[in-house]
């Protein structure tokens, strides 16, 4: 018996005096091949903070300032971006404990709206959203690591791709080897990136105390560098949303969280305000030493900041950014692989992706898919131009998911909800969401149109790959042979069902 088969007749109530013997037999059941609950509150906070603070705070300040047109409006965008993320995270806290499945947006939308809508979110995420985000973070890591070797020019194209690929392969191996190793790396590098940003903030505050706040003076802060429209402000929010993306990633690993009904919402309540504060203070620190023109001209804001203020210790900045982005890559690999795992478990992706290693209990096929897709995106070419596409798809999926929360309240009003947020929370989020997407469509119809097309290409794939059940036998034979080869190569099996849960013995 492999643990996945259990005689339901054994679930009958035991005779008096036999309960102790039953419990003793349960103790002899071998450890199951299943995802382990190894994510405590600290690691849960590290996953959220580590996924949010990746490359965004070192890339997006330039885009936010460029689209907002002034220092003051840029800072407002950063603060409001954190507030909107907080509203969304409160909604996700309710969904996470009401529908306690790993997979985040995908699992919730599939549960609420059905397979096609869930598949479209999954398709866009697997095809473009997460591989592109991972590629951007990996390239940021490479650029900052290689910057000292290329002091008078940008690092070469080939060098950045090779280092990015090596980093992704290394972290994929770590995640395949052990969940505990992956979470420990996340914990350590989250602390490291907070210390790095703390250094920027402290140095910036020292500058402010010395009177260097010309760019932050109200009259100068709201002096617009160029005319700005509502559409441009919406694009500034999209740039900021890239820096805040990842606030919902704990919901992708709900089944691996210890006491999820307590730790999921608590980790969200701790992490989002902390990140918003850090981001706002970091941008204030940038403007304490750099003019808006200098920031817009810089391709590595933190390095420029370090060169201006840290002197001989300026090399600390590229090292700190490299540590930050390294942890971000780890977090994205960890959580995005669980999305593939959840999609395969629902039958929306090949079943091989729903299997885990027999010994390490890690979803190796899903991790390998995420790794491969990211390397392909890296090889295609420049990825920074895809940030707006990714941000648009992100916001679209957030809105659909939170709209699903309201629909689920109406559809199943009597369902037990351990956390139930005030209705004004999802409504306020959706109003802002509608404003952002509406003006983004008006301002950048091509960017948003490409994002929609990417999602809609999943419609024929869904009907051919998922809905069409009577495929020719040769197709099923081919899929079975690929699955068998993948199992032998990766040494993976389907997770086993807990016999204790099936038997459900009475509590003493």
344-370: pLDDT as tens digits: 888 899 989 989 888 888 889 999 999
Q: Virtual CA dihedral for 78, 79, 83, 89, nearest 10 degrees?
A: 50
Distance linking the first and last C-alpha atoms of the chain: 27
Nearest to 103 by CA among 246, 249, 247, 241: 249
Q: Taking phi first (over 0 means left), then psi (-120 to 50 degrees means alpha), and beta for anything else, what does residue 260 get? A: alpha
Residue 22, pLDDT score: 39
* Local structure of residue 35 (DSSP, 8 states): -
For residue range 463-501, list pLDDT tens digits in order.
988 888 888 889 889 989 999 998 888 888 888 655 444
Strands (E), 280-400: 356-357
3-class state of residue 16 by DSSP: coil
Vertex 292: Cα angle to 156 and 208 (nearest 5):
110
Residue 162, pLDDT score: 92
Nearest to 39 by CA among 138, 188, 166, 179: 179
Residue 506, pLDDT score: 38
CA atoms of 270 and 441, how far apart (whole Å): 33
Quickly tell me which residue has 């091949």 as its tokens.
Answer: 33
* Local structure of residue 3 (DSSP, 8 states): S
Residue 381, pLDDT score: 61
**What are the C-alpha distances in Å from 111 to residues 12, 101, 202, 407, 412?**
31, 10, 46, 11, 12
Q: What value does the mean pLDDT of the chain take?
A: 80
Please say whether the beta carbons of 265 and 48 come within 8 A: no
CA atoms of 352 and 485, how far apart (whole Å): 10
> Residue 239 is inside which H or E element, if any?
helix 230-244
* Local structure of residue 465 (DSSP, 8 states): I
Nearest to 41 by CA among 356, 264, 299, 343: 264
Nearest to 78 by CA among 283, 235, 228: 283
> Residue 493 is inside which H or E element, if any?
strand 492-493
Please say whether the beta carbons of 320 and 303 come within 8 A: no
**What are the C-alpha distances in Å from 333 to residues 34, 281, 328, 454?**
19, 28, 9, 22
**What are the C-alpha distances in Å from 10 to residues 5, 24, 33, 403, 505?**
12, 15, 21, 43, 9
CA atoms of 504 and 24, how far apart (whole Å): 15
CA atoms of 339 and 103, how far apart (whole Å): 5
Please identify every stretch of the chain with a pLDDT value under 70, giving residue numbers as ranges.
1-36, 38, 54-55, 299-300, 312-313, 381-389, 496-508
Ordered DSSP codes for 403-417 = HHHHHHHHH-TTS--
Please say whether the beta carbons of 458 and 120 come within 8 A: yes
Q: Return the exposure string of 338-372: e unless at least 16 CB atoms fall within 10 Å of the residue's CB, then b.
A: bbbbbbbbbebbbbbbbbbbeebbbbbbbbbbbbe
Two structure tokens written together for 165: 């690929």
Two structure tokens written together for 53: 């603070």
* Local structure of residue 499 (DSSP, 8 states): H
**In the chain, what are the domains?**
33-501 (1.20.1740.10)
426's CB contacts (< 8 A; 6+ apart) are 87, 91, 402, 403, 405, 406
């Amino acid at each position: 018996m492999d643990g996945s088969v259990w005689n339901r007749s054994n679930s009958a109530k035991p005779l008096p005096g036999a309960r102790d013997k039953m419990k003793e037999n349960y103790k002899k059941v071998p450890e199951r091949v299943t995802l382990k609950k190894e994510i405590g509150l600290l690691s849960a906070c590290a996953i959220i903070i580590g996924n949010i603070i990746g490359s965004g705070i070192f890339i997006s300040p330039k885009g936010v300032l460029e689209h907002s047109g002034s220092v003051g409006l840029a800072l407002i965008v950063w603060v409001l971006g954190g507030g909107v993320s907080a509203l969304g995270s409160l909604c996700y806290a309710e969904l996470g404990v009401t529908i306690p499945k790993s997979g985040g947006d995908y699992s919730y939308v599939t549960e609420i709206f059905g397979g096609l809508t869930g598949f479209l979110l999954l398709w866009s995420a697997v095809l473009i959203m997460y591989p592109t985000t991972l590629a951007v973070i990996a390239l940021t890591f490479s650029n900052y690591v290689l910057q000292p070797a290329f002091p008078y020019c940008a690092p070469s194209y080939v060098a950045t791709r090779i280092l990015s690929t090596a980093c992704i392969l290394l972290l994929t191996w770590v995640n395949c080897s052990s969940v505990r190793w992956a979470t420990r790396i996340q914990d350590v590098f989250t602390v490291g990136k907070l210390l790095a940003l703390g250094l920027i903030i402290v140095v910036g505050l020292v500058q402010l105390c010395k009177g260097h706040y010309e760019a932050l003076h109200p009259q100068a802060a709201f002096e617009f560098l160029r005319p700005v429209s509502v559409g441009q402000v919406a694009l500034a929010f999209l740039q900021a949303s890239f820096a805040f993306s990842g606030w919902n990633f704990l919901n992708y690993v709900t089944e691996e969280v210890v006491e999820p009904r307590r730790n999921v919402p608590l980790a969200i309540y701790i992490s989002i305000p902390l990140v918003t504060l850090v981001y706002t203070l970091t941008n204030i620190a940038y403007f304490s030493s750099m003019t808006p023109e200098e920031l817009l001209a810089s391709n590595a804001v933190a390095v420029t900041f370090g060169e201006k203020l840290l002197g001989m210790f300026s090399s600390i900045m590229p090292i700190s950014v490299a540590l930050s982005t390294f942890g971000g890559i780890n977090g994205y690999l960890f959580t995005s692989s669980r999305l593939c795992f959840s999609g395969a478990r629902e039958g929306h992706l090949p079943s091989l992706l729903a299997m885990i290693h027999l010994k390490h209990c890690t979803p190796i096929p899903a991790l390998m898919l995420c790794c491969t897709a990211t390397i392909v995106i890296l090889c295609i070419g420049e990825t920074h131009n895809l940030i707006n596409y990714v941000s648009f798809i992100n916001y679209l999926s957030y809105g659909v998911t939170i709209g699903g929360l309201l629909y689920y309240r109406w559809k199943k009003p009597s369902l037990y909800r351990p956390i139930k947020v005030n209705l004004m929370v999802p409504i306020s989020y959706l109003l802002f969401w509608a404003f952002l997407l509406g003006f983004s469509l008006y301002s950048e119809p091509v960017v948003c149109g490409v994002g929609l097309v990417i999602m809609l290409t999943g419609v024929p794939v869904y009907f051919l790959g998922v809905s069409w059940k009577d495929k020719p036998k040769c197709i099923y034979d081919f899929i079975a042979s690929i699955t068998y080869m993948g199992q032998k190569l990766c040494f993976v099996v389907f997770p086993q069902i807990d016999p204790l849960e099936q038997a459900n013995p009475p509590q003493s």
